[in-house]
Amino acid sequence: MATMRTSRFWVILLGLLVLNFVITNVILGSGQPKTVTIPYNVFIQQVDAGNVTSITSTADSITGVAKTAVSAGPGQDSSTNFITQRPSFAGDDLETLLTKHGVTINAQNPNPATPLWETLLFSFGPTLLLVFGFLYLMRRSAALAGGGAGGILGRFGQSSARLYDAERPTTTFADVAGIDEVKAELMEVVDFLKEPQKYQRLGGAVPKGVLLIGAPGTGKTLLARAVAGEAGVPFFSISASEFIEAIVGVGAARVRDLFEKARAAAPAIIFIDELDAIGRSRTAALRVGSNDEQEQTLNQILTEMDGFDTREGVIVLAATNRADVLDPALLRPGRFDRRVAVQPPDRRGRAAILAIHTRNMPLAKDVDLELVASLTAGMVGADLRNLANEAALAAARRGAAEVTQQDFATALEKIELGSERKLTLSPRDRERIAYHESGHALLGLLMPGADPVRRVSIIPRGQALGVTIQTPVDDRFNYGEDYLRGRIVGALGGRAAEQLVYGVVTTGAENDLRQVTAIARQMVVRWGMSPKVGALNYAEDGDGASPLLGAARAYSDETAALIDSEVKRISDECLTQAKELLTQNRGKLDALVRALLEHDTLTESEILSVTGLTSPGDGVAPAAEAAATPAREQALAPAAPTSS
């Protein structure tokens, strides 16, 4: 229908153009004589012949009327009206000639004065247009804002918060899994919104604000929607960046408008996502001028949270992954009283999250979500949702009716390692890569307490030419020194295998050496696992890395040199241990390489079958477990895939 309307429009437009041509050139032009252009010498001849009755001169241009039709030459158009151009070298006897033959002479000013109406139009027209346009915008703004002093910012100052329908909540706590302790924390907020009198009769007050802190993808926004869905109250959601505009004062106006809407709909929930966009500390950076838009917006939020009573039933939820940069005024009691840390889920939590994201998927009988959860240590809710989606897409590409366990394995490889690359490698390169990855895999089986080797492959993926995947059976939150050394030994397995077999090393161990350096430095600087350095913590930025550029170092140059030497000592000792183990098990290493060259990829069961080992640590005496104290945070990331 849209196409028909478009065609009709063009037909009408074409008809109007044809009509305009007919009117201007046929109807109106038919009553006017045609004018022809003639040479100047022909004009002189016509004057001498007495055929010219009158002329009109404008500078050197001459138009005239003849008694009989004239033309520029034989076969040319003719007319009694003509026009010619007087050349600059022509003589000055033209007036005499015209007077002699009784030609009426008219003259026009070549530079006539501009009409008054044209002068007024071009002088005052643009100014009047701007004035009337500005007045129109002011009246529209005042009408939208209801008049008053704020009319000029009316439309800009309106909050763009999205209101979710409380009668049809799309998300409840049944859609949230893996973070049960956070759900329990927020149930009090839901209970208050449902039964506020239960708390008010005892003089209690629910927190005005709840700040959700966690890494990206852990489910902070999902939790906020679930709170609103469970409570059955209006839910105003907005991103903090939507408050900021180029016009100073708009952010504060939007904050006021948002809180006014929430009070009018109370009990209600206000959710501000990415709070750090406007809540950064005001002392963190130099600000120029007192009318900084971000600071005004932050001040307005502080004022609004102070200004409403908890009995109004308005609760502010906010989410951020940068709580360390927030202004202290936001975190004091009376503002965001309660701070809830949303941590990545453990294995049981990941299995529950996968169950939610696959509940509408046709799963094959061989799908084991518990196994998938054990292979995805460190993943958060958003990662697991992406994993389930990639598995469904993999099944769809195969044309299958169900999603199988292999689809999840393919999806996990694609997410962690990238898509498979079609590279043509020489037999020598394939063999070298196979020895590199087999070194990783074999040491992963030989080291006591090492994470199980789930898969080894020499198929290029992403930036890697080969990969060995190790994942823990259970999530680890505390690490012994023997486990950390085992991680280093396993990471150096590729380098050790290359030296053992070829006597030279390649660039394929770059990622491995990066992991080795990070773990060894943290052991020395952060965890006090060096006898020479002692039980001291020299970490400057909390993660064991070197001090930030320009920051004052908390230790001397002698200590820095000692740290470097201890890091090197740990790496050298682990490399020596890796070489010794591979030398003692050279037959298993060669068998694993042959199987890899034949099949490209080996699973955990195939690796154990080829090597003849039954469990990690076979043939090696277990090291004594280092004494451990409860950790306040997960100190080390899950084992990353080692690649060449």
From the candidates 242, 416, 437, 498, which is the catalytic residue?
437
Instruction: Record the tokens describing residue 188, joined without a space.
Output: 């009090």
On the question of a cis peptide bond just before residue 267, with omega within 30 degrees of 0, the verdict is: yes
**SS3 of 265-303:** CCCEEEEEECCHHHHECCCCCCCCCCCCHHHHHHHHHHH
DSSP track, 376-414: -TT--HHHHHHHHHHHHHHHHHHT-SSB-HHHHHHHHHH
**Which residues are bridge partners to 78 per DSSP?**
71
For tokens 């996968």, what's the residue? Answer: 354
Dist CA 79 CA 58 (whole Å) = 21
| Residue located via tokens 């180029």 | 246
- How far apart, in whole angstroms, are the C-alpha atoms of residue 616 and residue 623? 13
Say which residue the tokens 């360390």 belong to. Answer: 324
Catalytic: 510? no
Give the other-Cβ count within 10 Å of 129's Cβ: 10
Residue 273 bridge partners (DSSP): 239
Interior/surface letters 80-98, b for 16+ CB within 10 angstroms, e for the rest: bebbbeeeeeeeeebeeeb
Q: Give the SS3 label for residue 542.
A: coil
The per-residue DSSP string of 212-259 comes to EEE-TTSSHHHHHHHHHHHHT--EEEEEGGGG--SSTTHHHHHHHHHH
Which residues make Cβ contacts (< 8 Å) with residue 39, sequence separation at least 6?
Answer: 72, 84
* Catalytic machinery residues: 437
